[in-house]
Amino acid sequence: MRVKVEQLIEGCILTKDVSSVSSKPLFPTKTVITIQVIEVLHAFLIQDVEVDSNLINGLPFTPSEVIDNNTAATSVENSSFYDLYMSTVKEYKKLFANWQAGMSVDMSKVRSLIVPLVDKSFEEPNQIMQLHRWSTRSDYFYHHSVSVSLIAALLGKKLQYEQGDYNQLAIAGFLSDCGMAKIDPKIAFKTGPLTSAEYKEIKNHPLLSYKMLEKLPLLKDSVKLAVFQHHERIDGTGYILGVSGDKLHPFGKIVAISDVYHAMCCDKDYRVKKPPFIVLEEIAQDSFGKFDVQLVKLLIQEAAKISIGTEVKLSNGQVAKVIFIDDKYPTRPMVDINGSFLQLTNRKDLYIESILL
């Protein structure tokens, strides 16, 4: 059976080689899982593995969740975009360790990672708004920066930005949290609730990020400003400066909404993920105060990319087919469930859990 690495316990037995970037397996079949093996799997950003249904001591292994090998989410892992994405996450993790050690941001390295990934992501645009599926609690932070960069680039492209500009947006998203490297890891990666003093320190990361980028001559001011402003809000309720309205750079607005969407869709140590369609509805409710209305509409258009005939999974587990979409309520279409029509706008207790790609 296939399980997430987070489900593993000591004594599990691998039934399939775990591959890394080299031709030699990271761990071969029949490897017995130990704490050290789990740490290495996390270090290499391995998402899931195949294990025996019994432990080495003969007792049954009963994880709380088993991955269905027939799901679309699993099959997409064989795509070249998935491979390049996961490789970029690994590289980001290395870069972040370098920044923690005091090294400066290497812009040539950043560009060499991000630009090819953006190009590849546009070959499979439907995956961009589903990147949260590949994130794990243990490595959420590293996935987040890469995912925000791709979401921001997609929004920029849909806004008819030139290639150079949407690549700059991707770089801004990629570097938006680099300043977290300057915060005590015990605070930056704390798994429990933050104290008010710790939260205040975390909220300083946009400024720390900006300072790391401020004197880089090869980085445009629009990127630096987007990094600095990605937690600001149109109504002035954001941080660090609490600026509002036209004082926010368009790049900052785009990175901000990309950041919020991905964060809310992901499992984190301090917050359980929400289904994308619920996230979109919550963002839409805040759109007249916190986010640019045009960007909210564009985000919903791209993330809730359903059409007549699309099959979806509902929150009650039922599979339904979309038969009508009201432009005013794109996240709550009319669906057909085994011949029975249901208008989701009339059923607030139900929502679309996922799109069956």
pLDDT tens digits, 183-220: 999 999 998 889 999 999 999 999 999 999 999 988 99
- Residues 45 and 128 placed together within one structural domain of the fold: no
- Residues 200 and 321 placed together within one structural domain of the fold: no
Q: What DSSP string runs through 162-184?
A: -HHHHHHHHHHHHHTTGGGGGS-
Report strand pairing: 334-337 vs 340-343: antiparallel
- Residues 201 and 245 placed together within one structural domain of the fold: yes
Phi, psi angle pair for 313, to nearest 5°: -105, 125
Contact of 53 with 60, CB cutoff 8 Å = yes
Q: CA–CA separation, 110 vs 112, rounded Å?
A: 5
Q: CA–CA separation, 275 vs 279, rounded Å?
A: 6
Q: What is the CA radius of gyration of the chain?
A: 21
Asked whether residue 257 is domain-assigned, the answer is yes
Asked whether residue 206 is domain-assigned, the answer is yes
Give the pLDDT score at 70: 52
- Residues 90 and 219 placed together within one structural domain of the fold: yes
Q: CA–CA separation, 281 vs 327, rounded Å?
A: 14
Q: CA–CA separation, 131 vs 263, rounded Å?
A: 11
- Residues 11 and 45 placed together within one structural domain of the fold: yes
Q: What is the DSSP letter of 236?
A: S
Residue 136 C-beta-side C-alpha neighbours within 13 Å: 17
- Residues 255 and 327 placed together within one structural domain of the fold: no
Q: For the domain that residue 268 is a member of, what is the CATH number?
A: 1.10.3210.10
Q: CA–CA separation, 4 vs 293, rounded Å?
A: 38
Asked whether residue 122 is domain-assigned, the answer is yes
User: Cα 295 to chain center, whole Å?
Assistant: 18
Asked whether residue 62 is domain-assigned, the answer is no
Give the pLDDT score at 267: 87
**Against a cut of 0.75, is the pTM above it?**
yes
- Residues 218 and 284 placed together within one structural domain of the fold: yes
- Residues 296 and 317 placed together within one structural domain of the fold: no
Beta-bridge partner residues of 3: 49
Give the pLDDT score at 73: 46
For the chain (length 357 residues), average pLDDT per consecutive 10? 91 88 76 92 82 92 77 50 94 97 95 95 90 92 98 98 96 98 96 93 98 93 98 95 94 98 90 89 81 93 85 93 89 93 93 84
Strand ranges inside the chain, DSSP E: 2-4, 48-50, 311-314, 319-324, 334-337, 340-343, 352-355
- Residues 175 and 299 placed together within one structural domain of the fold: yes
Strand order in the sheet with 352-355: 340-343, 334-337, 319-324, 311-314, 352-355
- Residues 319 and 239 placed together within one structural domain of the fold: no
Asked whether residue 250 is domain-assigned, the answer is yes
Give the pLDDT score at 68: 66
350: left (phi over 0), alpha (psi -120 to 50) or beta: beta
- Residues 86 and 10 placed together within one structural domain of the fold: no
Q: At what angle do helices 221-229 and 250-265 cross, to 10 degrees?
A: 50
Single out the residue in 278, 303, 328 at which a domain terminates.
Answer: 303
245: left (phi over 0), alpha (psi -120 to 50) or beta: left
Q: CA–CA separation, 194 vs 174, rounded Å?
A: 25
**Token pair belonging to 245:** 């309205």
Q: CA–CA separation, 205 vs 175, rounded Å?
A: 11
Give the pLDDT score at 74: 45
Q: What is the DSSP letter of 244?
A: -
Domain of 36, in residue numbers: 2-50
Phi, psi angle pair for 191, to nearest 5°: -85, -20
- In angstroms, what CA-CA distances link 178 with 97, 149, 236, 251, 257? 10, 13, 23, 17, 18
Q: Which helix (H) or strand (E) holds 309?
A: none
Q: CA–CA separation, 99 vs 276, rounded Å?
A: 32
